[in-house]
Amino acid sequence: MEQLHINQNRHLVCDEDVLFNTHEYLNSLVDKFEISINTQPRNNMNIQTESSTNAPLASNMKDSNMKESKMKENNMKDALSGSWSSFKDWHHTKKAWFDSIETIIEETLVEPDKDQPLELRFVKDLGSYNFELTPPQKVSASTKYITISYCWEQPACAEEIPKYQILVDGSYRDLQCPSHVFHRSVRFARYKECDLIWIDQECIDQQLVCIDRQWINKDLQYHLRVMDRVYSESLCTVAPLSTNAFLKGHSVEHLWSTSFVHFRMDPWFRRAWTMNERFCAREVYLLLKTNWRPPSKGDYSNYEKLEDDLLITLAKVKSASDDIPSDRMSLLLGDKTLRDHARKIITGEIADPEEWRMLYRIRLAMAMCGCKITSDQVTIYGNIFKLPRRLDSNRLNDSKFWLPTCVFALMLANRFPEEEDRKRLYQDEESVLQYWFSQEREDGFGWIRDWHKLT
């Protein structure tokens, strides 16, 4: 367990593959340390706080009181409760497990139509501090827009934020998204000379409609099905980080050695939905609050400043960070090669037994993000891996569906699309499924390491 430690800021740090092998070990960590974990579901976007469970930023670390400490312990236990069991513990019989898999596939399997154009609303820049929410419009190759990836918590700032207003149905209203996020993103969009912005809190209709006696957000359901395309088809994505980097010195080398280890602990790198967005985005720009100014001498063309934000691409971060193992960096930054490699493992295009680590790394990252909403996780797995077959995750918000079984059904439907092939596996007494049914050494996801054995 040398690779797992608590750093000076009381963050749980995982430098290499760490496989949590016992429930007792994890509980001992929870008992000894404060471990911050995010639990906000993206499926309820009108919740306007993520800060209640944020890890303290390194730049403004303060001692937490006992109440906050206890809350964080409970969040950690809640996020992982129920995961430390086998398919047998949950379903009791193999037949019940197989039936549950087929029920999930039958009731929720969808094949996204990639040829159907997106229909999105945008926040359109009207100049100054005025914006307009456009009606839903079809997105074509000529539609240039910028997506925003963010966490609710933003750094304290002495700068006065302008009063932005958005024109909706003939009248202006205040922002629904965090004003600091919007302000910094607007500066970036204007720098890119792009007048269309997509940000979830403004562009997804938050209204509920009653269908079959259930209140449903139809627009949110639509966006969850196409969220990977929302980001991949945008011009680029901007991520306003919440970390302040007070840098000294003037060299680029000092800039990286001082700042990267610091700002990679930003909440943006540790959230499930922002991980989803950086894996799906075409190109990601980070906005880092800093007092750094490029000196008059030297070539600093790769380091743009937007007011008090340092503008850095994820590609630049990767190329400038030699001290971090390449596979760890690929996971941290949403490397598309890692994603495509993992998808080929799922679909059976790659059967190398040594390659399970690619798949397990993403699973481990998801667990460390602390997302405990089944529908969110299933959606994110489908997005990150760009799977040809997805599950309509809104139907999975039911206590009868267990998260590991839902993820297993998602992957199995992509490995064996035909029901007859899956039934053959269920009936084969020599199949690895017979072993996976009672496997107890992992958090319900131990089968991932043996996925290549499916034949």
pLDDT in the model for residue 112? 84
pLDDT in the model for residue 26? 40
pLDDT in the model for residue 41? 43
Domain residue limits, the chain: 4-80, 87-111+335-453, 119-330
- Give the whole-angstrom CA distance, residue 235 versus residue 137: 16
pLDDT in the model for residue 5? 43
Please identify every stretch of the chain with a pLDDT value under 50, giving residue numbers as ranges: 1-83
The angle at the Cα of 38, spanning 34 to 41, to the nearest 5 degrees, equals 155
pLDDT in tens, 337-348: 777 878 888 888
> What is the per-residue DSSP string for 230-281?
HHHTSSEEEEEEEEEE---SS-HHHHHHHHHHHHTTSGGGG-HHHHHHHHH-
pLDDT in the model for residue 353? 66
Greatest Cα pair distance, the chain, in angstroms, is 72
Q: Which amino acid is at 452?
A: H
- Give the whole-angstrom CA distance, residue 196 versus residue 28: 49
Dihedral over Cα of 110, 115, 119, 125: its sign: positive
pLDDT in the model for residue 251? 55
pLDDT in the model for residue 198? 98
Beta-carbon contacts of 212 under 8 Å, excluding residues fewer than 6 positions away, are: none
pLDDT in the model for residue 309? 84
pLDDT in the model for residue 38? 38
> Encoding tokens for residue 13?
């740090």
Question: Are 34 and 69 spatial neighbours (Cβ–Cβ below 8 Å)?
Answer: yes
pLDDT in the model for residue 414? 95
pLDDT in the model for residue 449? 81
